[in-house]
Chains A and B, each alone.
Chain A
Amino acid sequence: GQNIDQPTEMTATEGAIVQINCTYQTSGFNGLFWYQQHAGEAPTFLSYNVLDGLEEKGRFSSFLSRSKGYSYLLLKELQMKDSASYLCAVNDYKLSFGAGTTVTVRA
């Protein structure tokens, strides 16, 4: 089966940094995706990791450790528009999603 865990909620201040952790235990693994979902909207692709290490894309970075079954998404220089749900998804010919982490950015 698939078991993907991430915190339910996180709150941070505008301009700060937030790290969203994701741990997984899955029957197969071919990489890990992070998606952003604003309330009432479709998820949008943020990043993809298949090898261990850090992938950086502007203010967003994602890290993967396959041996530990662990990933994190790092959001830097937080803006109000970053308030959203962040979904961790394991790639195993289909995507298995975690329940999502709701990030609230406060002024």
Chain B
Amino acid sequence: GAGVSQSPSNKVTEKGKDVELRCDPISGHTALYWYRQSLGQGLEFLIYFQGNSAPDKSGLPSDRFSAERTGGSVSTLTIQRTQQEDSAVYLCASSLETVGTANQPQHFGDGTRLSIL
């Protein structure tokens, strides 16, 4: 597609359940990023991928969070045993190259709004 695609757009689940969020980046973009945005807050960096590898996982809030990327394209962010504080909008972005090595803007998807009951 023309832009970054995320699914589902909305997810409501019960505390303790696992959830999987999907991101389909812009074709040809090698770098992919996950962020979290809580209500009224700025974007919180979670993890980024260069190709299929994740050089920086420092932003993942706990070991309940994991992410993978296959084929240098689609990425999934998995949250296990969800807690109410996980409720947020999860945004995915992609860029042509890793931002630190090239002046490439990140292009964002519309996000997944996750609500934990």
| Chain A residues close to B by CB (< 8 Å) | 28, 30-31, 33, 41-45, 48, 50, 87, 89, 91-100
Contacts and interface: CB of A to CB of B under 8 A. Distances in A.
A45 B105 contact: yes
Nearest to B59: A94
Chain A residues touching B, majority SS: loop
A48 B107 contact: no
Given A42-B91, A43-B108, A31 B42 contact: no
Nearest to B45: A94
Interface stretch (B60-68, B78-86, B93-101): B93-101
Given A93-B100, A98-B42, A99-B41, A41 B106 contact: no
A100 to B, nearest CB: 5
Nearest to A102: B40
Contacts of B59: 94
Interface string B4-48: 100000000000000000000000000001010000011111001
Given A31-B103, A42-B91, A87-B43, A93 B111 contact: no
Contact of A94 (B48, B103, B107, B110): B48
For chain B, give the interface size range.
Answer: 20 to 34
B109 to A, nearest CB: 6
5 contacts: A33-B106, A43-B43, A89-B43, A94-B56, A99-B42
User: What 8 A-B pairs have minimum CB-CB distances, sorted nearest first?
Assistant: A93-B100, A99-B42, A42-B108, A45-B105, A97-B43, A97-B42, A42-B110, A43-B108
A93 B56 contact: yes
Given A31-B103, A93-B98, A93-B101, A41 B110 contact: yes
A94 B42 CA distance: 15
Contacts of A96: 45
A87 B42 contact: yes
A41 B108 CA distance: 10
Nearest to A4: B42
Max count, chain B CB within 10 A of own CB: residue among A31, A50, A91, A94: A94
